[in-house]
Amino acid sequence: MITEEQLAKTNFTFIDLFAGIGGIRLAFESVGGNCVFSSEWNKFSQQTYEANFGEVPVGDITKIDENEIPDHDVLLAGFPCQPFSIAGISSKKHLGRPHGFKDLIQGTLFFDIARILKAKRPKAFLLENVKHLERHDKRRTFDLILKVLREELGYDVHYKVLDASNLVPQHRERIFIVGFDKATDFEFPKLINKRPRLADILEKRVHKKYILPDGTWASLQRHLAKHRAKGNGFGYNIADKNGIAKTLSARYYKDGAEVLIPRGLKKNPRKLTPRECARLMGFPEKFKIPVSDNQAYRQFGNAVVVPVVKSVAGEMIDCMIKEKKRITLYDYA
């Protein structure tokens, strides 16, 4: 892990793609990074990003010329997982037509990451996605991503699924893909168990609007009973305050079913508040939430767990400064 002395010497630039509300940016700023470009298409996420970072991210990355993006040391992207189509590759080979990385991944958002990596050639990158990306389409999607990053672009690539439950009271597994422009001895951090409890992030007083209405609570109970009768595991979840919550999702705004907070016998449970969701994702208390509750639930459900990314960022930067050299390549002063 990067030391305080090393942190004082860091001074690197990064870009924040598919930025959401800036969780990855927070993590990399905390280890000495300076963001020189951000992109996020959702107008509500842009609103939250601006409230916290003082800038509105550029919109649709698919419409941005990679050559107009500032040079940078590290590329960051919590990119959405879109299906990769590999149909037609064999026929292109047979016909002698080009089938490089552009043909392999055109039409997916990963293509936009690849074209920027190719054009700007940063020293390192971090990509984050759902755990299931590794198994998508019988692993063909993930193997294609690795092929592009390693064989077509020439990066030294490392990946691992990390569970945030050692750092925040939430079971949340995400895959992290780290790459360097030359061979490194990078290792993912071992997340020391801080024994987080859900109770530690709950507010003492909560507005009654977060309590489930009788109709919603009755509907969830009927839904659970229906699926139990069929032998299915679908339904709501009453969280253990002394344990950890299930994974917070972007659909939480609908009924809060995956993380309901108990309120005692014969009392309807409640949803988490947006501030509690922020804490569950490891965002600092000063992080501003300028949007509606429904939008906030979507945003935090789609966000990264900041302390996990910070741990990965620290290991990345430690790798990059082991030779005691400043890693800044470009001067934006």
**Positions marked active-site:** 81
Which two tokens mark 68?
A: 């107009």
| Residue linked to tokens 């971090």 | 126
Q: Tell how far CA 100 is from the center of its chain.
A: 28
Q: Tell how far CA 63 is from the center of its chain.
A: 22
**DSSP symbols for 229-282:** HTT---S--B--TTS-BPPP-TTHHHH-TTSBB--STTS--BPPPHHHHHHHTT
Q: Can you name the residues that pair with 158 across neighbouring β-strands? A: 178
Q: What DSSP designation does 8 have? A: H
Between CA 306 and CA 319 the distance in angstroms is 20
